[in-house]
Structure 1
């Protein structure tokens, strides 16, 4: 698979596993290929194996089995400081007693660069993250966003082949976090450097990445572009983890390679896109995004319509969450834009809700 014309294989995990106790695998048979210049995010809940995978690539953890390659060179036994990899941590890891300039110079001094070259690279790094005016300040005199930019500049300063980021924005407030997401993404595009980013924040992964590897139970559950992950999750885990999702239980009554039929508990038979359904397994769920659910929809050949009771209306500013529940269907949520608030039912109303068949995916029930 290529990413925007990039060729994969710059970083490769080949059947990499990691166990701390010799019994339980934190990462299991990981195969992953990352293109040079790609922005790849490892996304997943706590304990899914994403951070352990990043630490093995960085050299801070040793793989139990398998091999990791960087530009076709095996690196599993190469010390972290010899891998040419930049690292940005959540807590920034800046030296509090050093100025910004001294923090940036430190990794260059460790590499015994000449003073003139060190000064040149520090000046360039500060210009890259637009912090030249803060060169003589100490970390404690900076905001969280400024400290994060210093940490990023330090990771970039020795011109690494790849930069790894472990939950780098987790300590920032929402507004600053979103601002830093844009800055990091713009910097990636400007420099063309390979970035591997770890987060549990699905919104962060979707907005920043070329591709996202969704981790669950030590394995990659799906590796795809943000659009593919959101629009076409390949299993129930990905569908429930990426974005908000309605899951409606049913029984598979007709299987096809492209489309399948699922009978709901109220007897309605729904045509859906075939996800990971198999003809031999009758248990199934229908996955539909809340923004694709319409209230009182116009009935067409392409529309699935069910009737259910409105149980709550929740105001979210730009949209209203309309909650429905029914003994046969279970809970269903629709997101209605604020501009169409006049279409809203009242709590207690039994109304029709529906969705286009192309927006519904049939998946195996976990």
Structure 2
């Protein structure tokens, strides 16, 4: 029986992937890393037969051991307990080289070659956050060599290189989400992690914001559409006779990089709809002082300041361009996004976020 090990199964993305995997493969042995027993109990109650193991991305021995026993490993961003205690507002840690190395050690030098499906992010190709548009569109096939040559200072560049360096002994693939939207079946994180980044900044300002004119263009992907991309990769990994309609592009390997994107929006258009959704729901913990959208000064914001301050992170995220083409997934996996658009479901997503705020007694800044 094939064995799948998942890191980050309770998260927004990981929870959506787990839901699809369980439906498709109810009899495959799935083990999931969980930070505490309460999370493990919720998963086991919801998914009969799933096994959980306690740990986080600092439990290197656990990660290596579990990877050694797995045929397929999927990783989604998580934070260690130490990081959560030291930085309680910290978002999932996207630079997890020690944890990744532990998983790769467990997978290396085995016969047959196991599979490692890693989650990266579109932040790899962000430009400077000045709120201006760009014509540059990054293609995960045509531009892969340029992407793999980006400096190690770029977010995701170092862990991505680490993953691909093991492709001689492991079947590797990297999925790179753009800005994730929509609701996830995850119990713990039904709404995207980028939503509170925007809402916390709106809360502090008392109104919506753009960086500069807000004409920068950003790619989005629904979490369930993205989960289907992971499912297609797992199907190939578990298939006794995998198929590829385009043999010139290997499904796994040192350049198996998959952007996940379904549509583009200017930042101002998204922010306008977000303010409309907040006005509609009138969440008590987030009061708008004005319906006007304020322009933040680009010179105060720099890509180099990313991760140092959550307020700056929000400004960087909503000030940069992120335009991509999901060429590889469409050509070799037949992946096609089918979920509704970003703005179509934004009121519902904000409503779920507001319910979570109320259930926590209005605790601010947490999701």
Shorter-chain TM-score tier: under 0.3
Structure richer in helix, relative to its length: 2
TM-score (norm 1): 0.27
Structure richer in strand, relative to its length: 1
Please tell me whether Structure 1 or Structure 2 has the larger radius of gyration of its CA atoms. 1
Structure number with greater CO (CA < 8 Å, separation at least 6) is 2
